[in-house]
Structure 1
Amino acid sequence: MTIRTLAVRATLALALGASVASCGFQLRGSGGQYTMPFHSIYLGFSETSPLGVELKRNLRAGSAVVVSSPKDADAQFDVISEQRNKQILSLNSQGRVREYLLLYTLTFRVRDKDGGEILGPTEITLKRNLAFNESETLARESEEALLYRDMQNDLVQQILRRLAAVKTKA
């Protein structure tokens, strides 16, 4: 390939990139910013819940105000249950665990300030596979923690999308 061909291709790629950027193109949901249908929300998580802290941080970065009292909120996020489970997925020929299935399940609902349901009980379940080797126990524990953290981030994004999509009374 000649230098001239490379220069033409680079110029075309640069022109295409500039035209896409100048027209206002933006990926849907880019930046994790969502417009919430309510001004303020109360989160029913404990203060030390990692999921609650992450959700609060993401909501504050967007358009919603997170309040500390349910009576000051336009919407109330109630946690019905939050569970982390680990199940055996497969065994090797000696009957030892070869693979685990990690599950993270959250059930929640959203109510308005009058107690009416905006979003009925909703369950989100995330699953990840974890390969296991007895000789690498410490590494697998770190990988398990990393997978749960990844599931938590995914769960927060799914909650934000569902919250942004709810219809409130006008």
Structure 2
Amino acid sequence: MQRRHLLKTCAVVAAGGAAAVLSGCGFELRKEPEYHFKTLALKGFIPHSPLSQELRRQVQRSTLKLLEDPNRADVVLEIEREVRDKTSVATTTAGQITEWQLRLQLDYSLRTAGGEVLLPRTELRLTRDMNYSESAALAKEQEEASLQKAMQVEAVGLLLRRLAAVRLPA
């Protein structure tokens, strides 16, 4: 009984010590980005693109207002290229694929409604490797969809953090 009480006390002290160390090092959870503009327009997305839908969803959670008319927005995000592909990385001697590489490529630029370039053409590339087995094809199909979704969410997060770093010219 005393041993259990001693272990419990040690665990509480250790947790308190860890909290004190983390608070002293400047650790802070990531916050929503703060933008230096109020309105954003999206241009060049493929109609009903999963990436544009995720971007719209994330922007609605933020302080930004999404406008359809690029001429009225403070900032216009122009997508020049959005490509998803899948390449075989490893095969067996019989020619069966054992590993895929999933890729998401996004080229974009940022400008004001007046045409002033805020960010020149920027390339965003994400890749994920995925093992594959014919015997688990259905499960691997679901894993691929999950990895594609994760890359999409990560790409939008990176894009929004880059937008937060942009300042409008005075």
State whether TM-score is above 0.5: yes
Offset from partner CA, 1:55-106 (integer Å, 9 cap, x none): 1221221221111211221000001000011111011122221111111100
Q: Bigger CA drift: 14-23 or 47-56?
A: 14-23
Offset from partner CA, 1:17-69 (integer Å, 9 cap, x none): 7768999x762524xx1001211000123552211121122122122111121
Correspondence for 1:86: 86
Deviation at 1:11, TM superposition (A): 3.6
Correspondence for 1:42: 41
Correspondence for 1:153: 153
Mapping of residues 17-166 of structure 1, within 5 Å: 27-30=28-31, 33-44=32-43, 45-46=45-46, 48-166=48-166
Corresponding residue SS for 2:110: strand
Aligned partners of 2:111 and 2:65: how far apart in 1?
Answer: 16
Q: 1:67 to 1:88 in 2, by over 3 A?
A: same
Aligned partners of 1:11 and 1:137: how far apart in 2?
Answer: 47
Is the 1:47–1:53 Cα contact (8 Å) retained in structure 2?
Answer: no
Is the 1:82–1:107 Cα contact (8 Å) retained in structure 2?
Answer: yes
Aligned partners of 2:30 and 2:19: how far apart in 1?
Answer: 21
In the comparison of the two structures, how many residue pairs are matched?
Answer: 167
The amino acid that maps onto 1:29 is: R
Corresponding residue SS for 2:161: helix
Q: Bigger CA drift: 64-73 or 151-160?
A: 64-73
Q: 1:69 to 1:20 in 2, by over 3 A?
A: farther
Corresponding residue SS for 1:101: strand
Corresponding residue SS for 1:2: helix
Q: 1:2 to 1:143 in 2, by over 3 A?
A: same
The Cα RMSD (Å) is 2.4
Correspondence for 1:8: 9
Is the 2:82–2:104 Cα contact (8 Å) retained in structure 1?
Answer: yes
The amino acid that maps onto 1:36 is: Y
Is the 2:33–2:161 Cα contact (8 Å) retained in structure 1?
Answer: yes
Aligned partners of 2:81 and 2:17: how far apart in 1?
Answer: 48
Q: Runs of 5+ in structure 1 lacking a partner?
A: none
